[in-house]
Structures are given as structure tokens and as C-alpha cells.
Amino acid sequence: MGLCESTLPQTGRALRPQEKDVLKSLLIIFVVGGPGCGKGTQCRNMATKYGFCHVGLGQLLREEAQRSTKRGRKIRDIMQQGLLVPTVGRAPNVVMVFDCSMETMVRRVLQRGQVEHRTDDSESTIHKRLETYYTLCEPVLAFYQQKNLLRNILAEEAPESIFAKCCLVIESLQ
């Protein structure tokens, strides 16, 4: 999530010096939270309001892991071990953490599963995904907390209220 810049390459080639300068000036926001906490909804809202590019890191990593490249195999190996894939690129300006109770996330994901018919939205799968989230994200959140980049957002409320809190964080950066 961050400001879009059309001058960056869309291919896997190395960045030119002027492209690196553009990348340094971009606003990069990480949005973290368990399944069903509202990340997708709020990222779409922020992308619309602020002209951000919403990049789902998990999806990108899964796609790259399917490739037969050296990097793809490395990512696949790391993911299969249940480890976190190291960050590629520049550090974020801020990390928004959507705090939401397990009960709320389970309820939301079950509702989403009924609407979208996603196979990974069954109750047993949800609990496993939540366990994985809490286990793997704790060291990541501690890392960004030490760098004073975390902004906790209570994500139990209506989507409009959550979005207003996201906007306050973004506008505090500008």
C-alpha cells in the first residue's frame, strides 16, 4: 500500500538510478492483521481515496513461489518451513495493525466464506490461520514497535469508523 508511481518498471529488471530516487520518495504503508480483520476492505478504501497502489504481499509471494526461478524456489522453501519471508525493498513509513478479537475475525470470515465461497474460509481453517498469524506476526510487530512505526487501529467497529482512523494515520504522515 502506498503512492503509485507509473515511472517504475513493471518487469523484473534492475531499477535505474532515477527510479530508485522515485522509490525513496514513495509513501509505503504496511497493513497487518489477522484474517477477517478488514485489511482488504480498508486497503481498497485507502487506494481509492489517496490514489495508492494496493499490493497484497501474501499473494505476490505465493505467485513468486510458484515460479521455477532461484528466487521463487527460495521463497517457496522459506514459506514451506513456516518462516517469514524477509522484506524486499524499502522499509515502510508506517505499519497499521488492525486489532480485532478472534471471535469477530471468525464471524467475519465465515460470513465472507458464505458470500465468496472461498475454500480457505471454513471454521477449522480459520482457527489454524489465526494461530499462524499470531505466532508468526509477533516478532514482526515487535520489530516495527522498536522502530516506532506501529499504529494500532481498533478494527471492531463499522468499516466507516475504521477507515476514518486509517485516514488520520495517513494524514499524520503528510
Whether 90 has a pLDDT exceeding 90, the answer reads no
Q: Which pLDDT score is estimated for 6? A: 37
Question: Is it the case that residue 102 has pLDDT exceeding 70?
Answer: yes
60-85: average pLDDT: 80
* Mean of pLDDT over the chain: 82
20: pLDDT strictly greater than 80: no
Q: How far apart are CA 98 and CA 42, in angstroms?
A: 10
pTM of the full predicted structure? 0.74
Higher local confidence (pLDDT), 125 or 152: 152
User: What is residue 151's three-state secondary structure?
Assistant: strand
Fold of 2-6+28-63+91-173: Rossmann fold (3.40.50)
- H helix intervals, the chain: 17-25, 39-50, 57-65, 70-80, 102-116, 123-146, 159-173
CA 62 to CA 46: how far, in whole Å? 24
Q: What is the DSSP string of 78-90?
A: HHHTTPPPPP-SS
Residues 6 or more apart from 43 whose CB is under 8 A from it? 1, 31, 52, 54, 56
| Per-residue model confidence (pLDDT) at position 4 | 41
pLDDT band at 127 (very low <50, low <70, confident <90, very high): confident
